[in-house]
Amino acid sequence: MAKQKNVFFCKECGYEASKWMGQCPACKAWDTFVEEPALKIKGKIRGTALLAEPQLLAEVSGAENSRITTGFQEMDRVLGGGIVIGSLVLVGGDPGIGKSTLLLQICMKLTDKKHRVLYISGEESLQQIKMRADRLGVFKGDLLLLSETNLDNIEEIIRKNKPEIVIVDSIQTMYKEDIGAAPGSVSQVRETTSVLMHLAKGLGITIFIVGHVTKEGVVAGPRVLEHMVDTVLYFEGEDKASYRILRAVKNRFGSTNEIGVFEMQDKGLREVLNPSEFMLQGKPEDEPGSVVVASMEGTRPILVEVQALVCQTNFNMPRRTAAGTDYNRVNLLMAVLEKRIGIQMSGMDAYVNVAGGMKINEPALDLAVVLALLSSYRNLALDEYTICFGEIGLTGEIRGVSMAEYRVIEAEKMGFRTCILPKTNADNIKKTGMKLIGVKNIRELSRLFT
């Protein structure tokens, strides 16, 4: 018998090589090559049978009715206004975070609107899916269920039943018989995703595929998987918290970095239409080191609490901790405080936390971190109806940020009366019932605590 020929694939980018290499020459990642059987393509490549003719842009028909609403406002926001017909959407997240629950709830709302939906599971039996569906509520419409992992059979069933929307849970369990590698391998994931992509584009079917994530927090399999799909959604959340955040990191049909907030309950996920109110629950009153910041997630303003604790260190080297924001950015801001105002932070322990488990890395958080540090250092509480935002540079200047008016409007809706913001932003906001305090640098900022 002829010896099976094996090749090596990079798990990050899908680069193929005839021998193992320590570093991938394409994406420069280390120790990512895995050995798998070489792919043998039989027959013609899919999509090359007919020669396509180019078409003028003006002659292409419009797509006014090319979106389907999911029934979840938060989901529609993240998708850019609804499900795009013929799109391929990847939903990733940690095990048990609620990916299957969210998609099954979407199936419930879509079938209630008489949409034809096919739910394919490679991990659960039909009886297990039925048990989960009964817990979520009553399905008024007809939902097609299929427990299958062979992609050839799945393709035949999709072409026969012609559903509008297909859910594939999960892509790591699917396999093609003509590929010798095991399900979940680089070869299988890449080839099965390619088949699903051609089905979605060729038949005008929207396909959601569920992808498991690795310990590094990325979808398992080659990164080429994220390049092939139209939209990449990540479902995130803390183990001890009830809320979940659906984040778009790639979207060909809408804005990226949009988020949708959900709360996990006994009967599934409930969308949180006012995340600012949700994040500020339990905020302490008249306590030093507590500041509220208006941050932006995509086009949505969200108010979150930033806490800081500064105390004398008992060690030779002071301890610094940052939860929910960049650790190095906190060290940088403390160095600016020490240099520009003269506060001796070198002998202080500092702990900074974004309450509620949110992770924020935008520059507008700088002003809130500095205010929280000053408030804790001087043991003076900021007024509970005061909010802030702004970026701080190395010279201590406070620079303007984008969408300042949206942040102020959201703060005013939540009952805040005073806003500390960059001077450049304060001069450009004309109509507001809030008191705006524009500051140019952190020296002006420090006078608020004198």
The token duo for 230 is 């139209």
End-of-domain residue from the set 250, 272, 294: 272
Residues 90 and 146 in one domain: yes
User: Does any domain span residue 414?
Assistant: yes
User: Does any domain span residue 48?
Assistant: no
| pLDDT at residue 31, rounded to an integer | 86
CA atoms of 439 and 425, how far apart (whole Å): 10
Strand partners, 387: 292, 419
Pairing label, strands 33-37, 16-17? unpaired
Dihedral of CA 219/222/227/228: which sign?
Answer: negative
Q: Which helix (DSSP H) or strand (DSSP E) does residue 260 occupy?
A: strand 259-265
Nearby residues of 43 by Cβ (< 8 Å), 6 or more positions away? none
CA atoms of 288 and 379, how far apart (whole Å): 5
| pLDDT at residue 44, rounded to an integer | 47
Annotated binding site for ATP: 93-100
Residues 393 and 352 in one domain: yes
The token duo for 236 is 């995130």
Task: State pTM to two decimals.
Answer: 0.77
| pLDDT at residue 45, rounded to an integer | 44
Q: Domain of residue 93: give its range.
A: 69-272
| pLDDT at residue 311, rounded to an integer | 93
Q: How many domains does the chain have?
A: 3
Q: Which helix (DSSP H) or strand (DSSP E) does residue 203 occupy?
A: helix 186-203
Residues 210 and 346 in one domain: no
Annotated binding site: 93-100
CA atoms of 92 and 188, how far apart (whole Å): 18
Residues 174 and 320 in one domain: no
Q: What is the CATH number of the domain that holds 127?
A: 3.40.50.300
End-of-domain residue from the set 272, 291, 321: 272
The token duo for 277 is 């109110």
3-class secondary structure, 356: helix
Residues 177 and 160 in one domain: yes
End-of-domain residue from the set 212, 242, 272: 272
Q: What angle do CA 118, 122, 123 make, to 5 degrees?
A: 120
User: Does any domain span residue 13?
Assistant: yes
| pLDDT at residue 207, rounded to an integer | 96
> Please, is 116 exposed, middle or buried when counting C-beta atoms within 10 Å of its C-beta (0-12, 13-18, 19+)?
middle
User: Does any domain span residue 371?
Assistant: yes
| pLDDT at residue 164, rounded to an integer | 95
Contact 286, 243 (CB under 8 A): no
Strand partners, 421: 438
Picking from 91, 94, 117, 93, the residue whose alpha carbon sits closest to that of residue 106 is 117
Residues 210 and 332 in one domain: no
Residues 18 and 90 in one domain: no
Residues 345 and 321 in one domain: yes
User: Does any domain span residue 224?
Assistant: yes
User: On the CB side of 406, how many CA atoms lie within 13 Å of its CA?
Assistant: 11
| pLDDT at residue 43, rounded to an integer | 47
pLDDT tens across the length of the chain (450 residues): 445 677 887 877 777 888 888 998 877 888 888 887 765 555 444 444 456 688 888 887 765 557 899 999 999 999 988 999 999 999 988 888 889 999 999 999 999 999 999 999 998 999 999 999 999 988 888 899 999 999 999 999 999 999 999 999 989 899 998 887 778 777 888 889 999 999 999 999 999 999 877 655 566 555 678 888 999 998 887 666 778 889 888 899 888 778 888 998 888 899 988 888 888 888 888 899 999 999 998 778 999 999 999 999 888 889 999 999 999 999 999 999 999 998 888 889 999 999 887 888 899 999 999 999 999 999 999 999 999 999 999 999 999 999 999 999 999 999 999 999 999 999 998 878 899 999 999 999 988 776
Does 170 sit behind a cis peptide bond, omega within 30 degrees of 0 on the bond before it?
A: yes
Contact 231, 89 (CB under 8 A): yes
